[in-house]
Amino acid sequence: MKRTSKLALSMILVLTLLVTMVSSIMYAAPQNTKGYEAAIEAKVKEVLENGFSGFYKINNTKVNFDQMNVNGEDIEATVSVKMNTTLKVKKVEELPYVKGMLKKANLTNFNYESKAKTDEAVAKANKGKLKNEKMAKVAKEIDNRFNDLKHYIGKADDNNFILKVTAKISNNEVAADSIKIMAENIDTLVPVEQLLPKTAEEMEVEGSNDMQMIIESEEQGYAPSLYSSYDRLAARDYANKWCSNPTACYDHGTSCGIRQYRPGWNNTPYPYYVELCHNDCADLVSQSLHAGGIPMDSTWKRGTPANTTVAWVNTGYLKTYMLTTKSYWVASNYTSASAGGVLYTASSHVVLIVKNDTVTRQFSGHTNDRNQSNYSNVSGYAYYILW
């Protein structure tokens, strides 16, 4: 009986050991994590670089894995990408959007020289076709566009993306056809393809449509109260300087869902205070507008918690102040709103537009903190400009 008991005990121990070994094999950390990352990185680079290479020289693309979870055959990863690009066109006239604008204005062989030359060319090409006031608006739009877009020609610039990638594992390798890439688009997720440049034909149509709206507009000019000395590039530069792309929460752990880096904020003139909690999007946009020259007043100002007004830190009150109280803002659209403009999402989140070279658009903002992050148009987005 003792031998039988010893034998049974030995068998139990062996079985326990086998179960433990099998369990450890089943639940051990994947041995091919680097291989998984390499496969996903290659796919991400392929999609982004192929999508942008039609209009940009790709200088470099850096892919960083912020988080990666492997659960059996399923992979979920959060990936941040910084892709540096330079427009291929050598002059503004070569941009497809601008070609569409010029064709609609009957300027198929136009080369920009100066505002005076533009006025002359528009008048000559549209004599008997458009009234004088409409020709003046067309010429002004062309002049504004060329002076804006010339800053992008030959300039290398970063494009930032936050991607959510899923994939399947087969034979300890990532199944290439299983990789799906979603992209953060301000406050929503969209298929990454929606952040890629459109075709040249589509952009040409956009330019034509925007010029048609200018021609059909009955407005004689913007409201007198529009803040004419607003420096939109100063506002852009401010937002880019004080925004970043953190991958973690600053002081609430990773469960809060808000990505911030408060040490990177402009804390000296605009100290953080707990009354704001995470909600700093309107505060950052207000700071940027003020950096562009919009003056504070008793309704719109930042100071201590007791001295800061709701119009400075609340998205709804900010819009009412800028759009209705002061008439500083006028409505725009996705294709026309340029750097220094403002974008509202359907959830009343607000960010500053920091780039529109007619091929891609970018924003910088807080909550989540994002710097030069690419975006595409989404139903419910609203755009405002100050010029």
Which helix (H) or strand (E) element contains residue 311?
A: helix 310-313
Q: Hey, how many other C-beta atoms are within 10 angstroms of the C-beta on 62?
A: 12
Beta strand ranges found along the chain (DSSP E) = 56-71, 74-87, 157-170, 173-174, 180-185, 188-191, 330-331, 342-344, 350-356, 361-365, 370-375, 382-385
At 342, list the tokens: 């403002």
Residues 279 and 160 in one domain: no
Residues 49 and 160 in one domain: yes
Query: Between 253 and 309, where is the model more confident?
Result: 309
Mean pLDDT to the nearest integer, 226-243: 94
Find the CATH number of the domain harbouring 286: 3.90.1720.10
3-state DSSP call for residue 352? Answer: strand
**Residue 20 in this model has a pLDDT that exceeds 90:** no
List the alpha helices (DSSP H) in 242-309. Answer: 281-291
Q: According to the model, what pLDDT value does residue 18 have?
A: 40
Which CA distances in Å does 167 have to 42, 191, 302? 13, 14, 46
Per-residue confidence at 5, pLDDT binned at 50, 70, 90? very low
Number of domains in the chain: 2
pLDDT in tens, 329-345: 999 999 999 999 999 99
| Amino acid at site 16 | T
Residues 287 and 371 in one domain: yes
Last residue of a domain, one of 185, 206, 230: 185
| Closest by CA position to 149, among listed 357, 342, 367, 387 | 357
Q: Please work out, in degrees rounded to the nearest 5, the angle formed at the alpha carbon of residue 184 by the alpha carbons of 255 and 76.
A: 60
Tell me which DSSP letter residue 30 carries.
Answer: P
Residue 386 and residue 236 in contact, taking contact as beta carbons nearer than 8 Å: no
**Residue 253 in this model has a pLDDT that exceeds 80:** no
Per-residue confidence at 52, pLDDT binned at 50, 70, 90? very high
Residues 320 and 172 in one domain: no
3-state DSSP call for residue 150? Answer: helix
| Amino acid at site 352 | L
Let me know if residue 177 belongs to a domain: yes
Cα separation, 365 vs 243, whole angstroms: 6
Q: According to the model, what pLDDT value does residue 19 have?
A: 38
Per-residue confidence at 33, pLDDT binned at 50, 70, 90? confident
Predicted structure pTM score: 0.89
Distance of CA 217 to the CA centre of its chain: 29
pLDDT in tens, 89-141: 999 999 999 999 999 999 989 999 999 999 999 999 999 999 999 999 999 99
Let me know if residue 173 belongs to a domain: yes
Residues 179 and 227 in one domain: no
Q: Hey, how many other C-beta atoms are within 10 angstroms of the C-beta on 333?
A: 15
Q: According to the model, what pLDDT value does residue 222 have?
A: 46
Mean pLDDT to the nearest integer, 29-44: 85
Domain that holds residue 56: 33-90+154-185
Cα separation, 206 vs 325, whole angstroms: 32
Mean pLDDT to the nearest integer, 301-314: 94
Residue 85 and residue 58 in contact, taking contact as beta carbons nearer than 8 Å: yes
**Residue 254 in this model has a pLDDT that exceeds 70:** no
Distance of CA 185 to the CA centre of its chain: 7
Residues 257 and 178 in one domain: no
At 197, list the tokens: 């440049």
Mean pLDDT to the nearest integer, 153-166: 97
Find the CATH number of the domain harbouring 175: 3.10.450.50
**Residue 16 in this model has a pLDDT that exceeds 60:** no
At 113, list the tokens: 């020289």
Per-residue confidence at 24, pLDDT binned at 50, 70, 90? very low
Phi/psi of residue 330, each to 5°?
-130, 150
Let me know if residue 106 belongs to a domain: no
Q: According to the model, what pLDDT value does residue 99 have?
A: 98
Mean of all residue pLDDT scores within the chain:
89
**Residue 11 in this model has a pLDDT that exceeds 80:** no
